[in-house]
Structure 1
Amino acid sequence: MKRDMDLVRTPDSVMTDYHTDFALWACEQAARLRTGAADLDRDNIAEELDALARALHRELDERMARLIQSLLQWSLLEGSRQPVWYVAIQEERDMIPRLLADAPSLREDWSGTLTRAWRRAQDDVCVATGLAPTLLPITCPFTGEQILDTAFWPGKP
């Protein structure tokens, strides 16, 4: 079955400029790659692949920060837990393993991911709750395993 994008242009057609129509350029480059064409826009393809890898790392960092933020709020503010924290915890615990399954190499910098996510989560907790930074733990109180463990809920039930 042909992909819809493959039908946009054939590899024999004139190459669309990268800066004129990115979507069409991408479809054309994909078609050229599939047919083994030699006339590829190699520099821009390489840049887009690098950008895609950076975006995946950024997505993991952002999802982990949101998850840690929600876990920290859940832990620190037991008396005023918000349903939105529960939802965020559940969503991120569902999505992060999917992201890691699609891109297992994201685990190679797991400690760096946790460090970056913790720093962002600290800032986000302070902004969202009004808590002073001095009231938060200096280091993340959760392990990487706990963060992703669907059975782990910090604090009292």
Structure 2
Amino acid sequence: MDPVNLKGFQKIELIVTDSVNTAYSKNGLPMFAGRLRGRLQSIGYALVDAAPQMILEVNVHEFDPGNRALRTLIGFGAGRAVLKYTARFKTPMGKLLAELEGGKAYHGLELVDNPTFKSDEATRMGLIAYSVSQIGEFIEKNGSQE
């Protein structure tokens, strides 16, 4: 898909859907949506519910805290924490402008931002913050992941 000037749109409607439907995802999705709203506003979008120029649909299809004990004791991907999503940028008529598959996984072997000794809440916020940052960078690079 060719890069598109995603920053050229002023009014955006944000739709975040939960395809996981677990207690963890139900508690985490409002935090994800709130941080994403803030990020979108910080890069110049007006968030609207009616008459948008662009619609951002984010479908979270994996969101799991993993198991800190397994990450600590075994590592190598055991007990990994994960947030995976698909973000689709569309016109109000439904034409796909750009798409991003992204997210973050903690497997316990990270040298930086290591979740091994973090609380579950800190791990969740790390997953959310990284994913929101990915979407913001994708927009700033006009739909390019390079």
State if a TM-score over 0.5 links the two structures: no
Larger Rg: 1
Q: Given the two structures, how large is their TM-score scaled by the length of structure 2?
A: 0.30
Structure having the higher strand fraction is: 2
Q: Given the two structures, how large is their TM-score scaled by the length of structure 1?
A: 0.28
